[in-house]
Each structure stands twice: as structure tokens, then as C-alpha cells.
Amino acid sequence: MEQFRQRAKELVAKMTFGEKLTQLRYDAPAIDRLGIPAYNWWNEGLHGVARAGAATVFPQAIAMAASFDEALVFDCANAISDEARAKYNEYRTFGDTEIYQGLTYWSPNINIFRDPRWGRGHETYGEDVLLTARLGTAFVKGLQEGKNPDPRYRKLDATLKHYAVHSGPEADRHGFNAEVSEEDLFETYLAAFAYCITHAKPSAVMGAYNRVNGEACCASKWLLQDILRDRLGFDGYVVSDCGAICDINEHHHLTETAAESAALALNSGCTLNCGSAYQYLKTAAVMGLITEETVTAACEQLFFARFRLGMFDEDCSYDKIPYSVVECDEHRAISRRLAQESIVLLKNDGILPLGSCGQIAVIGPNADDKSVLLGNYNGTPSRYSTLLAGIRSAADSRGIHVRYAVGCDIFDDTPRPWAEQPLREAILAARASDVVVLCMGLNPTFEGEEGDAYNGTMSGDKRDLELPPPQKKLFAEIVKTGKPIVFVNVSGSCINLTEQDAQCAAVLQCFYPGAEGGDALADILFGTVSPSGRLPVTFYKSAEDLPPFADYSMKGRTYRFFEGEPLYPFGYGLTYSEIREEWLSERELKLTNCGDADTGYVALHFAPAPDKRLLDFRRVFLKAGEACTVQFDF
């Protein structure tokens, strides 16, 4: 590592002050006289290489969390880093790399999903600190090291985001001030960052848009130096969220000009700027607000990262990763297995797994919708299986006929005399079938990032936890047919499923499951695989049970501090078998599969009330009649 630091120091010493300034931008231009190609630092890999053409699309982060499977999340991240390297190896044959073609990835999102109304919550690993910390660590290690680490070079750079105390509201994020107590700050909002930094050594941290207790996240010595570096031990580089530094003067009003904002950010420890603010650093220098010494130190840090990734060498083993790994069978198999493990069985009166039946009606706006597979920050799969396609394929192989009807629009119930009226078709399909698989919920246009979602007034956040009105109407009409219903809720967050729990034979939660999602769901429905996922978030009955969205106190939030009665608690999930738990000691748990089905199982170890926090978890696989003993560390 020291040789890379020395090489970075020597290279930066050859640059002019103006050249150094340009290298602190995410879209760093070439310096031809020094043999430095242009490099764009912006790449996304939340659950697969994103926005760079064909790639394996794995289940969304919240779905990974439902698996509680650290080893498989590591395998997923290793596959992503293989595909990222393969793409980079080909892209650089053009002489440089453009946006989404490099090696510095702005993932994972380890913010705590404190409120189910936050639109970006499905990018996270849920509401629990330990689950987020351990899965985040597995993901970072998979990206940066992979299964076959090169002893000299880093495979990719991973970036923890968004630092800090960031989880909505999206509409106000550019000027929002999150007010938190010291206890909530360190025990909840920063705990996963601290764990990942200690255990995975991430290359980078991304500063958030908001303020924390009055200080801008991308320009706070308290956050970036006193806490992040001095207290948490982070030694990498900090990148701003895109446009966040301009927010400091435009929306937070902590400075008067962009030059002052840029200087404040750089002097506070923000190394790299995504956005346009650092083009004003030259003005800031003229004003005497920054020194060349500070600029040089930041520049050296960034070139150290590039040298460590092997960008300027010919002997990096990762350069040999071929393009054939992109969407290869092995990676698609990982995606399917992760999707299987992420599906949570919430209710089952015995109807599942589906046995011999003549006809199945697959109904609902999410049944044949590709977008619900992909979530956001996603790649483009060249092969994919919608829920309908997966069910139909599995049913065909069993001689079962499938009828399909969309039933309603996912959210729009505006009456239009000339428009198709799909409700009656759904009722007819239900009447003619032995069982109805009802696929409802949300899609990524309902919940997402500001600017990505359709509902401009909420900027991607949710107003409530309810199904959209057209789906409620369709549900009521299908219930009237009297046919048994297997309800599949597809969403990246909690939905009020009180009526479905009361009136359906089975209820499953299918978080955005990736390109193999339809086949994975069919594996569960027909019993090829026993469900084993657990909820990474609490499923509340109503948003009225929660504190105001903009209140960042943890009181009344998540399983640890919620004082009401949830519909389904954090960590809840059924299997097709019966697992008996027998505590042998405080840290030793015997598990026995007393049922007939082989199944995965996640054992959870909680602290006793009033603490209630998750202390440890272990995923195991038990064949029918098999027993094992699990040792917990905490």
C-alpha cells in the first residue's frame, strides 16, 4: 500500500495547481502530458452493475436483507464485482471510461430504514442495525476483495452511503435538518457505519444531502473529521452526494456562494465532488479560502485509490476477468437462490405448497410487470422471469392450466369511457379456477428517490401504507368469488396487509426479487423450495401508528421502540416445515426439523425486554427430521 501512496504523491507533485483542482471532480478530465486518462468516478452497483447495459440483476437490497444470509450476499457482491471488472476491462479499450464504466462503486446504502414511508428504504438492509451492519460488511468485502483477492490490488472501491442520518423526507432532503440525540446518533444512525468501517475497510463514504443538528453532512468537521475519521477510524476518501455541496448555499443557507460552499466542504474533509461545486475551487483559492496543501492532500488520496485499483499497471489479475462472466449461468443461479431465500411466508392455512389442481388464476397488476423485478439503481437483464412467467412455466410442467388477468391498473382509477375495463376479466378468471394467485402491491414508481417516482408531491415517499384504491377494489371483488387466494405482495417496504391476513389462505411478501424473481416465486409456491425469509422491517397496520415522518427520534419506530401491536413483527417468517427451538444455554440453541419438508431456517437471538435488540443471527439448512445446534456470539 505504501508504494501506491508514494506513486500517488510523486504523480501529483508533477501537476499544476489547476490540474489538481480538476481531479477533485467526479468527472476528472485527462492530463495527457502525464499519461493520465479521463476517469468518471460515478458507478452504481446496489444489486448488480447498474446503468451500464446488460448485467445480472440480483434481488433489491431489502430482499437481500430478508434472506439474513451473509454468505450469499457476499457471493452476490463478488459476482457484481466480477461483472464490473469485466465491463471495465472492455470499456477502457476506448481509451477512457465514461459514467458507469469505472471501478469506484457508490454502494451499499446502509442507512437505517426507520420509517416505512421513506421511498428509498428498499435500497437499504432494513430497520435493524446489526442486520444492516453484517450484510453491509459482506457486500463491501464481496465488492472490494471477492473470492480470489489479488494480494496487491483492490477489486473495486465500495462506498458506504449516505452519511449521515439520512432517511427522508425526499422532498425536503436538499435543505432538511435532521435533529437527533447523541444516543440515537451513535446507537442507531451511525452504528452500521462504525461496524462496516471496522470490519470491511470500505474505500469511500458518501456524504448525504441533509444537515445533522445544523451542520451540512458534506461540509462538517464534526461529522467528517471528529466522528468519521477520528472516532470511527475511517481512512478512505469522502465523496459528496450529487449536487449536495451546492445545496449548502442554495438550500441550507450556511454560506453565501458556491465558492464558499466548495471551500467549506474541502476543508472539512470532502475529497471528491459529485456535482458542479468544485469548479468554483479556483475562485475559492483566489479568495484565500483554501490552500494548495489541502488540495494536494485530497488529490493524493484519490490517486492512491486509482493506483490501488491497478488502473496504471499491467499486472493486475482482475484485468483477466472476461466479459463472458456478465449474466453467466453461475451468477443467474445466485440471483435465483437469493430471490428464493428473500421471499417471506407470512400466512399459510395449508394451501401451500400448491398441490394437484386443475387451474390457477394469476391476477393483478404486478403479475406480468418487469419493473417489480428490478427495483431501482438496476441493470438491464437480457433474460428475466416475471411472476406470471415463472408460475406459468412451473404449472405447465405439472399439467396445470394458468389463466391470467391484469385486473386493474396499479394505481390509476380515473374513469375513461374508451379505456379497457379489466376487472370483469379478472373475476371470470377467478371463477374458472381452483385457486387464485393475486399479485399486488407497489412498483418502483411508487417508492424511490426524489425525481425518480411519479408522485411529485411526495418525491418518491409514500403518503400511507395502503394498497392503491384500484387494487383494493379488485381484491374485494376476487374475495367475493369465494375462491382460495394466495396473496403475493410485491413492494420494497411495509404495506398494510390486515385485510389480506384475515381473508386469504396464504400471504407472501415478495420484495423486488431481481431478474429471476418469477422462477424463484414459482419454486416457493409449488414447494420445490421451502420459504425461509424473514422480515427485515416491521409490518405496521397503519401509518397513523407512527410518529411524524420528519421526526428523527427513534421513539415509536422499528421493532425496538414501537409500542403498538404490529401486524407482522420484524424477523417474522414461516416455512413449510415445523422447526422446534430449544435453548440449551444463553448462547446455544438446538434446532430440530419436526416436519416433512427440508428447509432453510434463520435462527434469531434477541436481547430480553426491555432492550429487545437483535444480538445475533444464523442461517442453517435442516433436512426433515434433522437437528443441529447453533452457537451465538453475543
Catalytically active residues, by annotation: 241
Query: Which cell is 456 given?
Result: 411529485
Could you tell me which of 80, 167, 98, 101 has the C-alpha nearest to residue 132?
167
Taking CA atoms, 233 is separated from 218, 225, 625, in Å, by: 18, 10, 47
Could you tell me which of 377, 527, 371, 540 has the C-alpha nearest to residue 439?
371
Pairing of strands 359-363, 401-405: parallel
Could you tell me which of 482, 472, 481, 448 has the C-alpha nearest to residue 462?
448
Burial class (CB in 10 A: 0-12, 13-18, 19+), 286: exposed
Which residue is associated with the grid cell 435488540?
613
Burial class (CB in 10 A: 0-12, 13-18, 19+), 160: buried
Pairing of strands 435-441, 359-363: parallel
Q: CA angle at residue 556 from 555 to 560, to 5 degrees?
A: 85
Query: Which cell is 33 given?
Result: 502530458
With b meaning 16 or more CB within 10 Å and e meaning fewer, what string describes 537-575?
Answer: bbbbbebebbbebeebebeebbbbebeeebbbebbbbbb
Query: Which cell is 297 given?
Result: 492532500
Size of the chain in residues = 634
3-state secondary structure 558-578: HHHHCCCCCCECCCCCECCCC
> Which helix (H) or strand (E) covers residue 213, if one does?
none
Which residue is associated with the grid cell 394458468?
402
Evaluate whether 474 touches 467 at the Cβ level (below 8 Å): no
Taking CA atoms, 324 is separated from 13, 72, 79, 374, 482, in Å, by: 40, 22, 12, 22, 50
Taking CA atoms, 543 is separated from 124, 444, 473, 494, 564, in Å, by: 20, 20, 21, 10, 12
Q: Please give the single-letter amino acid code of residue 246.
A: C
Taking CA atoms, 217 is separated from 186, 197, 473, 623, in Å, by: 15, 18, 44, 49
